[in-house]
Amino acid sequence: MSAPPPADPIPLGTDGYPAASGVARRDAGSAESARANRRWWDAAAPAYLAEHGRDLGDVDFLWCPEGLREDDAHLLGDVAGRRVLEIGCGSAPCSRWLRRAGAEPIGLDLSGGMLVRAAALNTLTGVDVPLVQGDAGALPLADASVDLACSAFGGLPFVADVEGALREVARVLRPGGRFVASVNHPMRWPLPDSPDPDDLRVTGSYFDRRPYVETDDAEQIVYVEHHRTVGDWVRAVVGAGLVLVDMVEPEWTPGRTQVWGQWSPARGALVPGTLILVCTKPDA
């Protein structure tokens, strides 16, 4: 598949990522968040995959920067023969892992730029998975059409209406189905965005739910991440009609040296960086 160039390309910095003129904590609604993040990930896809693609793999299922992989965690259970929706698939290594494990995955992402690279990797690896461009808040699937859903740092941190997105997940899951999602641990938010454990100090309020936004010269939002507390996540899951059966806070994988943003071995030994929500849809 190919994606048309964005009508209003975002200027790139010397590192290949979109260059932001400003950073703030301010409100951002659903449409504004989706528009900004679609443009950002379209523009950032080459730099992001150049930086992290080797760690993510081409046919692999990495849940988080701490190094937890589905091969070891088994959070999804037996996937063979199951129809699985991956929300926020990016270049789709998780979906290809699912395919190789015998599942019938569908990779969904908001970014056409990411899906172009996913399609190329389908060809390169010989592991072909269907790819769909769509919003986590309006899943283009029929009711009760998938057995499992998953999201490895996919759409949920970037949507303004997470309750609506989780209701969409509940809608497309079959009764008894499972949904597992990894998100930024809420404890990340009051701490500096640094991998250095010496920087572990509270610089903001854990209870400040205003999203983190990056803006351009015209003060238009070009990137958004939304913050929820642990309690917010629990209420959102339960409010969507799902059952929260586990919350996993992965510890740093022994021997792993990869630094990923503020995630690092030294910092990971002290504070959590990822929260994984394990949910089920009640039987009818």
Tokens of 160: 């303004």
- Residue 159's Cβ-count burial label (10 Å; 0-12, 13-18, 19+) is buried
Per-residue pLDDT at 265: 96
Q: Is the pLDDT of residue 217 over 90?
A: no
**Are the C-beta atoms of residues 249 and 278 closer than 8 Å to each other?**
no
Polymer length of the chain: 284
Per-residue pLDDT at 206: 97
Per-residue pLDDT at 6: 47
- Residue 64: CB atoms within 10 Å: 26
Per-residue pLDDT at 5: 46
**pLDDT category, 2, cuts 50, 70, 90?**
very low
Per-residue b or e along 203-240, where b marks 16 or more CB atoms closer than 10 Å to that residue's CB: eeeeeeeebbbbbbeeeebbbbbbbbeeebbeebbeeb
- The predicted-structure confidence for 6-60, as pLDDT tens digits, reads as follows 456 788 999 999 998 999 999 999 999 999 999 999 999 999 999 999 999 999 9
Tokens of 272: 């959590």
Average pLDDT of the chain is: 94
* Whole-angstrom distance, CA of residue 70 vs CA of residue 54: 17
**Are the C-beta atoms of residues 83 and 146 closer than 8 Å to each other?**
yes
- The predicted-structure confidence for 111-155, as pLDDT tens digits, reads as follows 999 999 999 999 999 999 999 999 999 999 999 999 999 999 988
Beta bridge partners of 106: 85
**What DSSP assignment string belongs to 201-264?**
---S-TT--PPEEEE-TT--EEEEE----HHHHHHHHHHTT-EEEEEE-PPPPTT----BTTB-
SS3 category, 94:
helix
* Whole-angstrom distance, CA of residue 60 vs CA of residue 256: 16
- The structure's pTM equals 0.94
Closest by alpha carbon to 114, among 9, 2, 18, 33?
A: 2
* Whole-angstrom distance, CA of residue 44 vs CA of residue 133: 17
Q: Is the pLDDT of residue 167 over 90?
A: yes
**Are the C-beta atoms of residues 266 and 195 closer than 8 Å to each other?**
yes
Per-residue b or e along 117-126, where b marks 16 or more CB atoms closer than 10 Å to that residue's CB: bbbebbeebe
What are the φ and ψ backbone dihedral angles of 51, each rounded to 5 degrees? -80, -40
Q: Is the pLDDT of residue 184 over 80?
A: yes
- The predicted-structure confidence for 151-166, as pLDDT tens digits, reads as follows 999 889 999 999 999 9
Comparing 22-26, 90-94, 173-177, the range with the smallest average pLDDT is: 22-26
H/E element, 106: strand 104-109
**Are the C-beta atoms of residues 180 and 276 closer than 8 Å to each other?**
yes
Comparing 28-37, 214-223, 237-246, the range with the smallest average pLDDT is: 214-223
Name every residue whose Cβ is closer than 8 Å to that of residue 176 and which is 6 or more positions away in sequence. Answer: 280, 281, 282, 283
Per-residue pLDDT at 220: 87
* Whole-angstrom distance, CA of residue 256 vs CA of residue 197: 16
CATH code for residues 24-280: 3.40.50.150
Q: Is the pLDDT of residue 199 over 80?
A: yes
The domain spans of the chain are: 24-280
H/E element, 52: helix 30-56
